[in-house]
Amino acid sequence: MACSCASLVASTARHFDERKAREELKSYRSAGPGTTTRGLLQLLRTAQAPPNTLLDIGAGIGALTLGLLEAGVRQATCVDLSSASLAAAAEEAERQGVAGRIDWVNGDFVAIASTVPAADLVTLDRVVCCYPAYAPLLEQAAGHSRQLLAMSFPRNRWWVRLGLWIENAWRRIRGNGFRAFLHSPEAMAELLAQHGFKRARTASTWTWQVEVYTRGDAA
């Protein structure tokens, strides 16, 4: 199943509109990164040395990118469907004095992957749950990573499945075309293993899982 569907792209971009981007930026400035972002930062900071380059897929307002730049990453590329989110991220990067170290790319990563440079570290914070088919996304992400791949996604638990079903039902009633998806963690791990990645570090909350993978020849 392909996930470059125009209706999906449009619905996701509309969902992450300017109002939502401003709300997320306000929350970031007052309370710092969200739960999964903090978890990924903690796991990635345990590495012996920070990677030089970052590709942040579905970067949103840039919270993970900014945290990794602070941790020692030198240069980052942020890709996101939402132009409003990227505008908010650029504003915050300018405020923090790191705008010159980030390249911004607006678009569906799966569709434009061939134009996006590879990086030492590829991240997908709450991104696979926005795609109906995880395989094309993770295949492209794995192909762009030289050393590390890190991601967060909903845990496969009954209460999480119920919560997502309620959220999607409410969006359907309101005419919001955006949907969230819960994919098999085992299937995603198997796909990454087929592309040469081994799971190195994990952590979880009641609803979210965060994982860091290392490319076999870079371990």
Residue 7 has pLDDT above 80, yes or no: no
Taking all residues of the chain, what is their mean pLDDT, rounded to a whole number?
A: 91
Residue 3 has pLDDT above 50, yes or no: no
Q: Is 8 exposed, middle or buried (0-12, 13-18, 19+ CB in 10 A)?
A: buried
Q: What is the pTM of this model?
A: 0.92
Q: Give 78-124 pLDDT, tens digit per residue.
A: 999 999 999 999 999 999 999 999 999 999 999 999 999 999 999 99
* % of the chain at pLDDT higher than 90: 79
Tokens of 90: 């650029």
Residue 51 has pLDDT above 70, yes or no: yes
Residue 47 has pLDDT above 50, yes or no: yes
Per-residue confidence (pLDDT) for residue 176, from 0 to 100:
86
Residue 125 has pLDDT above 70, yes or no: yes
Per-residue confidence (pLDDT) for residue 40, from 0 to 100:
96
Tokens of 182: 């819960």
**CA nearest neighbour of 68 among 84, 87, 55, 81:** 55
**CA nearest neighbour of 78 among 23, 123, 33:** 123
**CA nearest neighbour of 141 among 123, 159, 157:** 123
Residue-wise burial string across 44-79, b where 16 or more C-beta atoms lie within 10 A, e elsewhere: beebeebbebbbbbbbbbbbbbbbbbeeebeebbbb
The C-alpha atoms of residue 61 and residue 138 are separated, in whole angstroms, by 21
Of the given ranges (3-17, 42-56, 169-183, 195-209), which has the lowest mean pLDDT? Answer: 3-17
Tokens of 181: 């998806």
Task: For the chain, give every domain's residue range.
Answer: 6-218
Q: Give 67-79 pLDDT, tens digit per residue.
A: 999 999 999 999 9
Does residue 135 or residue 130 have the better pLDDT? Answer: 135
Segment 30-36 mean pLDDT: 96
Q: In this structure, are residues 26 and 18 in contact, taking their beta carbons and an 8 Å threshold? A: no
Per-residue confidence (pLDDT) for residue 170, from 0 to 100:
93
**Residue 6 pLDDT grade (very low, low, confident, very high; cuts 50, 70, 90):** low
Q: In this structure, are residues 124 and 97 in contact, taking their beta carbons and an 8 Å threshold? A: no
Q: What are phi and psi of 197, to 5 degrees?
A: -110, 140
**CA nearest neighbour of 137 among 146, 126, 147:** 126
**Residue 217 pLDDT grade (very low, low, confident, very high; cuts 50, 70, 90):** low
The C-alpha atoms of residue 180 and residue 132 are separated, in whole angstroms, by 8
Q: In this structure, are residues 112 and 87 in contact, taking their beta carbons and an 8 Å threshold? A: no
CATH number of 6-218: 3.40.50.150
